[in-house]
Structure 1
Amino acid sequence: MQKTLSRAAVILWMGLIFHLSHQAAAASSELSTGVTEIVLAFIEKVVPNEDLDVSSIHHIIRKNAHFFIYFFLGMLVLHALNMSKGTGCKTIGLALLICVLYAISDEVHQLFVPGRGAQVKDVLIDSAGASVGIVGYLLLSRLINIVRKT
């Protein structure tokens, strides 16, 4: 049952990535602009009278979205593989390979979406996010094992 659920989580997360990538440029920009406005409102409450460049914050938020969506994909993929193969170097490498190939396919997919394009930089950001997610999963797993033993 856990194998099935973990694989379903990967498929659903990949579906979310596909859905977000399939949005036309205007819709994608509208979504990230809304998130930017929320972040700016929060920053203004925490640091009042701070002059912020909206366009640079918008760019940072978009790139962080790439990183974090693949961060969670890396965790989910490694967990799903861990359910059936165990966590060895080959499993970790396979998890990263799956994430990188999905990032590449995601960018290729965007070539066919109106107003969108593919960027190697985004594949690198996605891959970095997946890598950190995989390492985070490994660290979290070790921490859980240590806590269970005590």
Structure 2
Amino acid sequence: MIAIWTMSGLPHDTIMNLPNNTMDRFLKESLHLVEFAFLYVLIIYAFLANGKLTSFISLAAVIFASFYGLADEIHQAFVPYRSATLIDAIKDVTGAFVAFTIVNYMYFKKNSRIGRWMAMFSEWARPQ
């Protein structure tokens, strides 16, 4: 969360500026989807490591990640050289909800390999 907030407070070309403007824009726009999906997954793994992951916690995590995305867009509205747009907020929420859908399908509904890995991680990481 600190990394997202910090990078959102910097001009868009501070960390990376590709010579091809189309590729640079595509990559940076797609990061909206990735960073909030990743935030959701990190929250999930924190609960999974403590053996407390439930479908309700998963829903709460996606709502939290989505609201953090909205808060980040509001933050960007006050940063010089940055912008806050509705489409960026939609991408933030979409990234979190795509990850939520995958986790709920793989872990809670289907006995998949990813779901088994998550369960093994939970058993391994759970405090004794």
Give the TM-score of the pair, scaled to structure 2.
Answer: 0.73
The partner residue of 1:32 within 8, 16, 23 is 16
The equivalent of 1:74 in structure 2 is: 40
* Structure 2 CA distance for partners of 1:78 and 1:115, relative to 1, 3 Å: same
- Offset at 1:119? 0.9
The partner residue of 1:91 within 57, 61, 70 is 57
* Structure 2 CA distance for partners of 1:131 and 1:114, relative to 1, 3 Å: same
- Offset at 1:60? 0.7
AA matched with 1:111: A
Q: Would the aligned equivalents of 1:66 and 1:125 in 2 still touch at CA under 8 Å?
A: yes
The partner residue of 2:78 within 112, 115, 118 is 112
Structure-to-structure mapping, 1:127-138, within 5 angstroms = 127-138=93-104
Runs of 5+ unmatched residues, structure 2 = 107-112, 122-128
* Structure 2 CA distance for partners of 1:91 and 1:113, relative to 1, 3 Å: same
Structure-to-structure mapping, 1:10-21, within 5 angstroms = 14-21=1-8
Q: Would the aligned equivalents of 1:78 and 1:134 in 2 still touch at CA under 8 Å?
A: no
Any idea what SS the aligned residue of 1:117 has? coil
Give the TM-score of the pair, scaled to structure 1.
Answer: 0.64
- Offset at 1:141? 5.0
RMSD: 2.5
Runs of 5+ unmatched residues, structure 1 = 1-13, 38-53
Q: Percent identity?
A: 23
- Offset at 1:142? 1.2
AA matched with 2:116: L
Cα deviation code 1:26-52 (max 9, x no counterpart): xx224231xx35xxxxxxxxxxxxxxx
- Offset at 1:136? 4.2
Q: Which has the higher helix share?
A: 1
Q: Give aligned pairs, total.
A: 113
